[in-house]
Amino acid sequence: MQFAFNLSADRKLSLQNEVFERIRTMILDGQLRPGDSLPATRIMSDQLQVSRNTISLAYERLRSEGYLETRRSVGTFVSSQLPEAGLNAKLGSASAAPERTQSSFAGAIRPVRAQSLMNPHHDRLMVDFWVGRPDPRSFPTKLWSHLIAKRLLYAGANLTDYRQPWGQLELRQEIAKHLRPARGIIADPDDIMIIGGCQDGLNLVGRLLLRPGTPAVVERPCYQGAAYLFESLHATLFPVPVDAWGLNTMQLPDVSNAVVYVTPSHHYPLGVTLSLERRLELLTWASRTQSYVVEDDYDSDFRFEGSPITALKGLDRFDRVIYLGTFSKCMGAGLRLGYAVVPTAMREAARNMKALMNNGQPWLEQAAMADFMKSGHYVSHLRRIRRSYMAKRECLLAALSEHFGSCTVLGDPAGMHLAWHLPESLPLASKIEAAALKEGVGVYTPTSGCSTYLGEEGDSDRVLVMGFSSLTEKEIKLGIGRLAASIHGLNS
């Protein structure tokens, strides 16, 4: 480690004294903390271009006054117990220092809301039905390690050179191959941008298309990450209600040049699927109003009943849909890999904006994912975890039925969560959520589960959103049992 200081050219102290004072000041200012290591005397003398003896004498004086301590065969460290006299002197001088004035720029910082990524009480929960978390046991660790190691052997300059910000070509090609049969999307690899997940894609779209006052049509309720991002860019939000058939296209606003955000395959958080009739109506409306539709297809890999539904992008004949997909739900959020399929007319602008946002996702993860898909292991992985999640869904439905009888549930044909519409005989969802927390169980209303109604809450307090993908069947049964006990306590 090198120290961030140089010796003064206009020297009033001897070299030894100046080194002593500079290190002592760094310790008292908190730049060096108890236990921090100091460079060896040889390294320090090379950096400051002074004799090693000068550094040795300065270190020795710091040791004798209690600022440093030496650990044999290990090195020199800031003392764990600093001399009280030095600290008191420093505190005294600090109290006499003039009060800092707040920068005038601080008043220009806009308040920004961010989406919730986890329950703040997660660490104290026995069972957490938080939404959108893959099963950590499902990650193909052994195979992934092999793919990473193989790529590292022949990495060459790939780890040291800048790459194309919009992503590695071989991964974009594999994504295009996957989307054709899986989602009905015929995509040119050049129209695909590798991003850090759907939230990164929303940021890309927002920076491309939104200006202050731009109409932004969102679902109601809506994923917080989309609504809050559009809000931060000063778009004018138009919430459109979602019912059992998805976004109510009869209530689309009379605007033009808008951005529409939808989760049509498995609405977040209510779980409903946008009907084919409404999909076609939305696409016609987008073409007529010269608007763009952002399709967030966050968990469409998991459909348990019937064939996969063709994505909006696959139905689009007007080139008005921007498709967002992610590996966060089928692999893991820690990879920070996703993709956006943009209209061809938007390709150059999207590439330029991606370059302004960042210089691209990490090469190694992209390369390993391309190999994972090319080898056929990705399809096998999806098939395996789809069966696992289906069994967990069945377990959750059975547990709800066992404890509460017939339940009105939406969203269960697909995805990683479902929405339980509470009967009038049960307390409000927010009361159940609070009671379950005391039992060590996390269940969520739509608004506490990372969505927003952007206004009146509607029937939010009659719905519980429950994710099941990250839990074992044993945990699901335990969680619903304890949930039932907490509700019984409320009713008694």
Q: 183 lies in a domain? A: yes
Q: 161 lies in a domain? A: yes
Q: Residue 80 belongs to a domain with what CATH number?
A: 1.10.10.10
Name all contacts of 117-123 with Cβ < 8 Å and 24+ positions apart.
117/450, 119/442, 119/444, 121/437, 121/442, 122/442
Instruction: Among 314, 348, 375, give the residue marking a domain's end.
Output: 375
Instruction: Among 375, 397, 417, give the residue marking a domain's end.
Output: 375
Q: Do 80 and 227 fall within a single domain?
A: no
Number of domains in the chain: 3
Q: 330 lies in a domain? A: yes
Say which DSSP state 267 is in. Answer: -
Q: 268 lies in a domain? A: yes
pLDDT tens over the chain, length 492 residues: 667 767 776 666 788 888 898 899 888 888 888 988 888 888 888 888 889 998 899 999 998 888 999 888 788 999 888 875 555 555 455 444 455 555 556 567 778 888 888 878 788 899 999 999 999 999 999 999 999 999 999 999 999 999 999 999 999 999 999 999 999 999 999 999 999 999 999 999 999 999 999 999 999 999 999 999 999 999 999 999 999 999 999 999 999 999 999 999 999 999 999 999 999 999 999 999 999 999 999 988 899 987 778 999 999 999 999 999 999 999 999 999 999 999 999 999 999 999 999 999 999 999 999 999 999 999 999 999 999 999 999 999 999 999 999 999 999 999 999 999 999 999 999 999 999 999 999 999 999 999 999 876 667 789 999 999 999 999 999 999 999 999 998 876
Instruction: Among 339, 355, 375, give the residue marking a domain's end.
Output: 375
Sheet of 259-262: strands edge to edge? 192-195, 338-341, 321-326, 292-296, 259-262, 215-220, 236-243, 246-247
**Among 189, 168, 204, which residue's Cα sits nearest to residue 355?**
204
Looking at residue 106, its pLDDT comes to 59
Q: Do 231 and 368 fall within a single domain?
A: yes
Q: Do 369 and 424 fall within a single domain?
A: no
Q: Residue 451 belongs to a domain with what CATH number?
A: 3.90.1150.10
Q: Do 271 and 369 fall within a single domain?
A: yes
Q: Do 226 and 274 fall within a single domain?
A: yes
For residue 469, what are the domain limits? 122-134+380-491
Looking at residue 492, its pLDDT comes to 67
> pTM for the complete prediction?
0.83
Q: Do 256 and 367 fall within a single domain?
A: yes
Looking at residue 105, its pLDDT comes to 60
Q: Do 477 and 354 fall within a single domain?
A: no
Q: 226 lies in a domain? A: yes
Q: Do 246 and 346 fall within a single domain?
A: yes
Q: 98 lies in a domain? A: no
Looking at residue 405, its pLDDT comes to 94
Q: Do 455 and 340 fall within a single domain?
A: no
Say which DSSP state 135 is in. Answer: P
Q: 152 lies in a domain? A: no
Looking at residue 120, its pLDDT comes to 80
Q: 103 lies in a domain? A: no
Q: Do 181 and 315 fall within a single domain?
A: yes
Q: Residue 274 belongs to a domain with what CATH number?
A: 3.40.640.10
**Among 172, 94, 146, 53, which residue's Cα sits nearest to residue 368?**
146
Are the C-beta atoms of 206 and 294 separated by less than 8 Å?
no
Q: Do 360 and 424 fall within a single domain?
A: no
Say which DSSP state 40 is in. Answer: -
Residue 212 identity: P
Q: Do 286 and 318 fall within a single domain?
A: yes
